[in-house]
Chain A
């Protein structure tokens, strides 16, 4: 994970407002190093998804400086850095089968046809789906499976930066924990840089190397917590007293932030 310790993404004094009176983000300064896994933790409506969309280059900041691989986010995504985004819901195209959904980014990025099958197969295997699932329409899958397909679609282009916007928020606890464990495994194998937005404390602690805690709107970064647990992280970690203490501490900060 530590080939390079330079910042892949950074924000300096970034503010964002959608209307004159309502400030969504206020003076955000933060960075994520290449290969790092960082979570943005904050109460609902604090602007953490907005920050993620700023890094994706889907929207532009009102003030401040943003960079991905040293460039403006949208330019970086177009020229220098493969960026993938995982949404809150799976957002699969209903008229395409699972495999065709995963193929979509390859088509859009004009990846050579000959490569497609191999890349799709790898992505399916990585995310724990079999060849039978690949031929199904999305409507026949469960919520957890759809989210897996959505992840496979994001991973098929082998992204350098993966932006995840509360991808497991709609799933039940058991599924969420399973997918957390799988996501850590995939990160360890593929070495992408991850920025993960969530309001779930245990999820943030289990996944990340570092957590940025945000205040309620207008969002500011009020704390930066380094998570000391080594990788690979096993499910038993959740029963560790240190894990519980850290979660408790973060929950308290989050409650304060929400007030």
Chain B
């Protein structure tokens, strides 16, 4: 039964994108050879593979560094975003006073405040975490606030009929009702945290002996090592997908187990 499901999953979900990937790589290799493209414009897939192989330990360490920054930023968003959502859910006045500033955080270009971040926190890991945090905060905050407020009015009546306190309603009704929304926010945020960590390294990540994917992308580009640049970009992408997939898996599991199922279809 389970084997059959895994088999059908492999055939339907895994094989087609892998085949497409192989075709694209083949065309790419063919183009590079046939048109004699300069390696500083487009390296061949083989060269990129070679670069990944050569840089494996470097890329590994970079993933760990960027990944830790992304995860720190993501967890900070999860905790702080949820807490702010709790505060926002308390009154319309608090919401309308606070909301514009979080929209400001969401929309301000990170390049614009990077100098400030460096001035306040210095270059290095803590600043990269801060950028990842700023970029990933808003989806959790917005989805969480919405989830805490959009409660089935009949359930609120049920709690009132049982003379529930504000606190009991918050903990036993509002928070559990908001979990699907928070998870949807967390999925978006997880991707943004990875982007935030990589972009953060561009602007605020120097000055430390350890470095991550963003730094690698930046320096290999400067040194025209395009094969290594490709290797770093590819690794970043795979890493982003992995984080998104992990958060998605956790969220679907929670929704299956404790709720009526995922809010939206997985696909």
Contacts and interface: CB of A to CB of B under 8 A. Distances in A.
Interface in A80-120: 83-85, 87, 89, 91, 93-95, 104-105, 107-109
A104 B163 CA distance: 12
A78 interface: yes
Interface of B: 152, 154-155, 157-164, 168, 172-173, 176, 179, 258-261
Interface of A: 53, 56, 58, 77-78, 83-85, 87, 89, 91, 93-95, 104-105, 107-109, 137, 139, 157
Contact of B259 (A85, A94, A105, A109): A94
Given A87-B154, A89-B154, A93-B155, A108 B163 contact: yes
B162 A105 contact: yes
Given A91-B154, A95-B259, 16 more contacts: A56-B157, A56-B161, A77-B163, A78-B163, A84-B161, A87-B157, A87-B158, A89-B154, A91-B155, A93-B173, A95-B258, A107-B168, A108-B162, A108-B163, A109-B163, A137-B258
A115 to B, nearest CB: 16
Nearest to A83: B161
Q: Is the interface of B mostly helix, strand, loop or mixed?
A: helix
B176 A95 contact: yes
26 contacts: A53-B157, A56-B161, A58-B157, A58-B161, A83-B161, A84-B161, A85-B158, A87-B154, A89-B154, A91-B152, A91-B154, A93-B155, A93-B173, A94-B258, A95-B179, A95-B259, A104-B162, A104-B172, A105-B162, A108-B159, A108-B162, A108-B163, A108-B164, A108-B168, A109-B162, A109-B163
Nearest to A53: B157
A94 B173 CA distance: 11
B162 A139 contact: no
Nearest to B163: A78
Contacts of B154: 87, 89, 91
Contacts of B258: 94-95, 137
A91 B177 CA distance: 13
Contacts of A105: 162
A232 to B, nearest CB: 29
A234 B118 CA distance: 81
B259 A91 contact: no
A42 B133 CA distance: 57
Contact of A139 (B159, B163, B168, B260): B260
